Amino acid sequence: MHPEPNKGPSRQPTLPVFRPLRRAGLALLFAGAVLPALVPVACAQGPPNILFFFLDDMKWDAVGYTGNSVITTPHMDSLATRGTNFENAFTTVAICGPSRASVFMGQHMARHGVITVQRGTYTAAQWAESYPAQLKADGYYMGFIGKHGHGNGFTGTFGTFDFDKGYDVQGSYFGQVIDGESAGGRHLTKFMGDLAIEFLGEAVDPAKNPGAAPFCLQISFKSPHNPLQPDPAYDSLYSADTIAHAKTDTQAQFDDLPSFIRSTSSAGTAEWNNNFNTDPKHQASVKKYYRLVHGVDVQIGRALAALDDPDGDGDNSDSLTDNTIVILGSDHGYTHGERHQVGKWYIHDESIRVPLVICDPRLPATLRGKRVSQMVLNLDIPATILDYAGVPRPAVMQGRSLRPIIEGNPPADWRAVFLHDHPAIPTVFKNEGVRTEAFSYTRYPNNGNVKQLYDVTVDPYQRTNLADDPRYASKLAELDALTTQLKADAQ
């Protein structure tokens, strides 16, 4: 058993004056529950609850609110209508384990060191500075459901979660066992939705959450990660639709890739050859992927309904909706045939761009339903959660709170560049580079230092590699040096 570094009296609250207020939200509810008249009180005060829906390999535009006219995601669309839609949200590493660690730790891979296959776990001291451990130490009632995805050696999260329904590595869409409970006949996504509802019930149950603490729940769905096995209940969805191919789903764009990525053993090429290299296969695969996303949307709808009636008695007077921050995100993006590639791993926008919506119901209508353009990162999610909770951000975190942007006060010094740094793993090639608002640059240090440079202001689909264009030699050198500098800074 690992120690639980943030439990017990050793860690003093950093804001003792504020701390008594911290539990006010649910405490009001419980105070109502113990009165003879049983007058429930809505939770509109005190630190907010956090409900974080986290998808896996979610293409940024596989959701209705981006204008996708095929997929049906009414609950995600509703969150965008009520929250802030970050149109330039990115991951700093386009693969499951390291990005998920960044979302827990607020750190680049170079600092947290959770590198899929090579090392997939945390030290106790590291974990103590994760957002869940920080919230736990501050008194939050903590829940986690679903995939960690950290690979070999993952040993858990040191008892942080009161409701601990995580698993490693990938899980199965059918027959998954979580914390000793089998999914039975349920699709994994439905199973996770049921667990979310169970958690919300526990969060308002004095027997489970006797301190009446605010809650934080992260639901890490497996969907729409491979294999493409949606709930059979959705088999007929999109059957009459035609999926459009990406503009870069061409042989010419494939031919423009480095030769090692074009090899048949390279992960993105192999997956395209297996499941996307004819139009019928492309249609079938994307539709299955969309059904997986739709399945998540259904469970998000169920969880939001449970948030509005957590004890499930049909009466909404115990609703937590008005004091719960809802976050929708993904560990990284995905390609569906762009450059005849299927997957993630590289710096092209389809792989690094992610959906991100944050909905704060406490804000006035003028600050909701917005689209914002700042470049924001997976690293920023934990800093944002801690900011909402009123918990100081550990100095080791490298991300920044998104709350000022959400509240209409974007900092003047907001980032204009970020590092993407991907490890070498079997069938995927080491790559590192930078994305600015104007340029995307990457290099492959283990493969002859091949380089790619795109001017996304005029070439948003990244069709023309400028790395060998002498007109861009100085820009290439500048971004190459910047990559080296940001890699050093990230450690």
Least distance (Å) between residue 332 CB and Ca ion: 6
Minimum CB–partner distance for residue 176 and Ca ion (Å): 17
Q: Which is nearer to Ca ion, 241 or 308 (CB)?
A: 308
CB of 193 to Ca ion, least distance (A): 18
Give 3's strand partners.
none
DSSP 221-266: --TTSSS----GGGTTTTTT--PPPPTT-SHHHHHTS-HHHHSTTS
Residue 22 near residue 390, CB atoms below 8 Å: yes
Say if CB 134 and CB 113 are below 8 A apart.
no
Q: How far is CA 73 from the centre of its chain?
A: 17
Residue whose CB is less far from Ca ion, 96 or 406:
96
Q: Is residue 314 packed enough to be buried (19+ CB in 10 Å), middle (13-18) or exposed (0-12)?
A: exposed
Residue nearest to Ca ion as judged by C-beta position: 96
Binding mask 265-304 for Ca ion (x = CB under 5 A): ----------------------------------------
| From candidates 129, 309, 350, 360, binder to Ca ion by CB under 5 A | 309
Nearer to Ca ion, 421 or 480 (CB): 421
Q: How far is CA 383 from the centre of its chain?
A: 14
CB of 380 to Ca ion, least distance (A): 18
Tokens of 479: 């971004």
User: Is residue 96 close enough to count as binding Ca ion by CB under 5 A?
Assistant: yes
The answer to whether 466 touches 397, Cβ cutoff 8 Å, is no
Instruction: Name the residue nearer to Ca ion (CB basis): 313 or 413.
Output: 313
Residues 137-176 that bind Ca ion (CB under 5 A): none
Minimum Å gap between C-beta 205 and Ca ion is 12
Q: How far is the CB of 114 from Ca ion (least distance, A)?
A: 13
Question: Omega of the bond prior to 460 within 30 degrees of 0, cis?
Answer: no
Closest distance of CB 154 from Ca ion, Å: 15
**Residue pair 355/332 in contact by the 8 Å Cβ criterion:** no
**Residue with smaller CB distance to Ca ion, 94 or 405:** 94
Q: How many residues lie near Ca ion (CB under 5 A)? A: 9
Q: Do residues 116 and 96 touch, judged by C-beta distance below 8 A? A: yes
Count of Cβ atoms closer than 10 Å to residue 270 Cβ = 16
When asked if residue 227 is in the footprint of Ca ion (CB under 5 A), the reply is no
* Separation between Cα atoms, residue 296 and residue 356, nearest integer Å: 15
* Alpha-carbon distances of 302 from 115, 297, 436, 454, rounded to whole Å: 34, 9, 38, 42
As a whole number of Å, the end-to-end CA separation of the chain is 29
Nearer to Ca ion, 103 or 389 (CB): 103
CB of 466 to Ca ion, least distance (A): 29
Give the strand pairing for 370-372 and 84-86: parallel
For Ca ion, the binding residue among 87, 311, 322, 459 (CB under 5 A) is 311
| Residue (146 or 394) nearer to Ca ion, CB | 146
Closer to Ca ion by CB, 332 or 435: give it. Answer: 332
CA distance to 6, 63, 235, 250, 289, per residue, from 71 (Å): 43, 6, 13, 23, 10
Q: Rounded to whole angstroms, what are the CA distances from 342 to 129, 166, 261, 268, 352?
A: 35, 27, 12, 5, 13
* Min CB(315)–Ca ion separation in Å: 4
Binding region for Ca ion (CB under 5 A) out of 205-213, 246-254, 310-318, 410-418: 310-318
Greatest Cα-to-Cα distance within the chain, rounded to the nearest angstrom: 80
Alpha-carbon distance of 66 to 243, in angstroms, equals 16
Closest approach, Cβ 352 to Ca ion, in A, equals 12
Nearest distance, CB of residue 299 and Ca ion, angstroms: 18
Of 57, 194, 349, 350, the residue at the interface with Ca ion (CB under 5 A) is 57
413 binds Ca ion (CB under 5 A): no
- Choosing from 50, 56, 128, 379, the residue that interacts with Ca ion (CB under 5 A) is 56
290 versus 388: smaller Cβ distance to Ca ion: 290
Is the Cα torsion angle 192, 196, 201, 206 positive or negative in sign?
A: positive
Stretch touching Ca ion by CB under 5 A, among 307-315, 446-454, 460-468, 469-477: 307-315
Contacting Ca ion (CB under 5 A), which of 313, 364, 412, 413? 313
> Following DSSP, what letter does each residue of 70-82 receive, concatenated?
S---HHHHHHHHH
Nearer to Ca ion, 57 or 432 (CB): 57
Nearer to Ca ion, 136 or 148 (CB): 148
Question: Interface with Ca ion by CB under 5 A: which range of 91-99, 265-273, 347-355, 373-381?
Answer: 91-99
Q: How far is the CB of 329 from Ca ion (least distance, A)?
A: 11
- Compare residues 338 and 387 and give the one whose CB is closer to Ca ion: 338
What DSSP assignment string belongs to 20-56? Answer: HHHTHHHHHHHHHHHSTT-------SSSPEEEEEEES
Between 315 and 354, how does the x/- string for binding to Ca ion read (CB under 5 A)?
A: x--x------------x-----------------------
The site for Ca ion (CB under 5 A) is made up of: 56-57, 96, 309, 311, 313, 315, 318, 331
